[in-house]
Amino acid sequence: MADIEGTNGQRTGFSAVGRANVPGRLSYVIATGRARYGSDCVEPGMLHAKYLRSPYGRVRVKRLDARKARALGGVVDVVTWDDPEVLAIQGAREPLIPGEAETEDEEIGAVVVAVTEEICDEALRLIDVEWEVLPTIVDALDGLAPGAPVIRHDPKQLASSAAVGDVEAGFREADHVVEFDWAHARRASHPPNPNGSVAWWAQDPWGVEGDTLYIEGVCPTWGSFELRPMYQVTYDTLHRKPCSRGANTATGSTAAPRW
């Protein structure tokens, strides 16, 4: 049985799959629930932000009116997918706020920023959206049929195939041929903890002149790509610290890395 008083690399009684004292980075704090995840990042006076979610399997925003949401008390801002400032910082990366969703409950169209989560929820209900419902594919094999709708155009994902030898001859000579379908989720690395980061301004303790933008979260590199050009900060005034995510830790050291 593991010695819960020890730390990684020091528990002589700990074993896993027949191997003694297997070291694991932050494994003890994750197993005991002490690990700090992205959703655990809270700062004094912190604002909250929530995305609008798609009510359909696949949909596109035709029109979005956020005037009532912006007028609600406690709402600081409502940022939409077609705001010029949002479009200007996207570049070649995926849209910061997408105007089209591929699955139900996917983030789309707008982000509400407010003083509490409850006000965010209320403001989201006040957003008036006209949806264009698009064709969906439930079975991936249906996507191979002639004339099937293209769900996603992604130049980064290139399909390729390769064959060595006479495949048909191999089938003919085989004693048994087993055919089966296999599928997996498109994304599987984030649950149960959602992506999220917290950013704030503070004086750099290492002496760089001016305020430093701090980003802490499950994958702080993502937030920095958008926030750095938005606020026109340089990398020497950008401070990022990863948190734990899922069953392992985010890439990087637990001591705040800088680039």
Query: How does strand 59-65 pair with strand 128-133?
Result: antiparallel
Per DSSP, 145 falls in state S
Q: Two tokens at 104?
A: 């139900």
Task: Provide the CATH topology of domain 48-133.
Answer: Aldehyde Oxidoreductase; domain 3 (3.90.1170)
Q: What is the average pLDDT value for the chain, to the nearest integer?
A: 77
pLDDT value at residue 259: 33
From the list 222, 189, 198, 230, the residue with the least C-alpha distance to 94 is 222
CA 23 to each of CA 7, 10, 14, 16: distance values in angstroms, whole numbers, following the listed order: 9, 8, 9, 10
Task: Report which of residues 54 and 259 the model is more confident about.
Answer: 54
- CA 19/CA 17 separation, integer angstroms: 6
- Report pLDDT digits (tens) over 117-126: 999 999 999 9
Cβ neighbour number for residue 70 with a 10 Å cutoff: 15
Using a pLDDT cut of 70, give the percent of the chain over it: 69
Q: Within 13 Å and on the Cβ side, how many CA atoms surround 153?
A: 2
**Does the model's pTM come out above 0.95?**
no
Task: Report which of residues 232 and 153 the model is more confident about.
Answer: 232
Position 114 confidence tier, pLDDT thresholds 50, 70, 90: very high
Please report, as a single letter, which amino acid is at residue 38.
Answer: G
- Report pLDDT digits (tens) over 2-53: 344 445 555 555 556 665 555 566 677 777 878 777 778 888 889 999 999 9
Where b means 16+ CB within 10 Å and e means fewer, 85-101 reads ebeeeeeeeeebbbbbb
Task: Report which of residues 194 and 110 the model is more confident about.
Answer: 110
Task: Report which of residues 259 and 138 the model is more confident about.
Answer: 138
pLDDT value at residue 165: 85
pLDDT at 133 over 90: yes
Provide the β-strand partners of residue 53: 107
Position 209 confidence tier, pLDDT thresholds 50, 70, 90: confident
Q: Sign (positive/negative) of CA torsion 107, 109, 115, 118? A: negative
Tokens 């996507």 map to which residue? Answer: 143
Q: Which helix (H) or strand (E) holds 75?
A: strand 75-80
pLDDT value at residue 153: 61
- Report pLDDT digits (tens) over 53-111: 999 989 999 999 999 999 999 999 999 999 988 887 765 456 788 999 988 999 999 99
pLDDT value at residue 28: 73
Kindly write down the DSSP assignment for every residue of 166-184, as one continuous string.
Answer: -HHHHHHH-S---------
pLDDT at 177 over 70: yes
Position 240 confidence tier, pLDDT thresholds 50, 70, 90: confident
Q: Which part of the chain has CATH 3.90.1170.50?
A: 48-133
